[in-house]
């Protein structure tokens, strides 16, 4: 669990103009973030445009990331869904040797209640050979994993090691931190709230911003985790506007544009996602130019 503290980066999936996967750019991105201070890679999360990728594409991307990473950093793999049985079937095909943990999002669309959420994640825990990070992002899933449910899961299943909290509700996150078992971590799922959340006890972040600004963002996280909030705060406020702008017209459209400006990937998404507006492009350009 200790190697999943600090800054994890939720990798985007680069595409070519014909919308096929751009493996050359993906290799460039992996090397860029891993050489600039991030602590682990997150593959097949929402930022990867996971819903638009075929099963075959997902499998090839996972194998490619494992190959390029070459055991340099831990890899967390996104494995979730709204059908518990189907999620369990996915777990059977994971290469446990090269994956450090799975990140499993709350079931979306069918909106189970708290008992349903508890049973869903309990079944996943019983069937997973890998540690599990719960992922609470009610703005996307339509359902909120409440603190009592997180604590019950963490207390009952030792292989549920942490929760990525992206509810944006700091009081809720503090309730989890206050009640959690000592060996359970809480991870920020919101880039702009990460500094504040570290101050109340989270162990790090799974970041979108770190795709484009891995060195700066990792420095901020490390300063904060080491109690140096003066230096962490200076970086936080340099990055704050950028952290908000990249989500202004949906993710990962903003971060993909930024990576294109940095000449790391091409600026292509798969429908239903579309590129950001010219107005937002101009704002991001100005912001990136001001970050030293």
Rounded Cα gap, residues 165 and 167, in angstroms: 6
Rounded Cα gap, residues 208 and 9, in angstroms: 6
Residue 60 C-alpha from the chain's centroid: 20
Give the distance between the most distant pair of CA atoms in the chain.
Answer: 50
Active site residue 164: yes
> Which residue out of 164, 180, 216, 283 is catalytically annotated?
164
CB environment 186-203: b (16+ within 10 A), e (fewer): bbbbbbbbbbebbeeebb
> Which residue out of 135, 256, 268, 283 is catalytically annotated?
135
Q: Which residues are catalytic?
A: 135, 164
């Amino acid at each position: 669990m200790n190697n999943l503290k600090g800054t994890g980066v939720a990798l985007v999936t680069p595409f070519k103009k014909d919308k096929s996967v751009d493996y050359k750019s993906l290799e460039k991105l992996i090397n860029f973030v891993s050489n600039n201070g991030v602590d682990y890679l997150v593959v097949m999360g929402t930022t990867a445009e996971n819903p638009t990728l075929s099963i075959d594409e997902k499998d090839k991307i996972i194998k490619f990331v494992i190959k390029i990473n070459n055991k340099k950093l831990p890899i967390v793999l996104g494995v979730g869904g709204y059908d518990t049985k189907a999620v369990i079937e996915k777990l059977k095909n994971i290469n446990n040797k090269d994956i450090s943990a799975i990140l499993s999002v709350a079931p979306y669309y069918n909106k189970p209640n708290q008992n349903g959420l508890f049973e869903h994640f309990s079944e996943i825990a019983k069937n997973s050979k890998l540690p599990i990070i719960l992922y609470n992002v009610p703005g996307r899933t339509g359902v909120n994993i409440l603190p009592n449910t997180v604590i019950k899961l963490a207390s009952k299943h030792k292989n549920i090691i942490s929760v990525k909290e992206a509810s944006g509700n700091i009081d809720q996150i503090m309730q989890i931190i206050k009640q959690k078992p000592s060996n359970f971590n809480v991870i920020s799922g919101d880039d702009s709230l990460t500094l504040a959340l570290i101050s109340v006890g989270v162990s790090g972040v799974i970041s979108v911003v770190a795709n484009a600004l891995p060195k700066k963002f990792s420095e901020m996280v490390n300063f904060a985790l080491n109690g140096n909030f003066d230096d962490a705060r200076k970086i936080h406020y340099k990055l704050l506007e950028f952290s908000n702008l990249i989500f202004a017209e949906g993710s990962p459209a903003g971060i993909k544009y930024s990576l294109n400006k940095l000449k790391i990937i091409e600026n292509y998404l798969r429908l239903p996602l579309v590129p950001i507006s010219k107005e937002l492009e101009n704002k991001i350009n100005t912001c990136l130019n001001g970050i030293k």
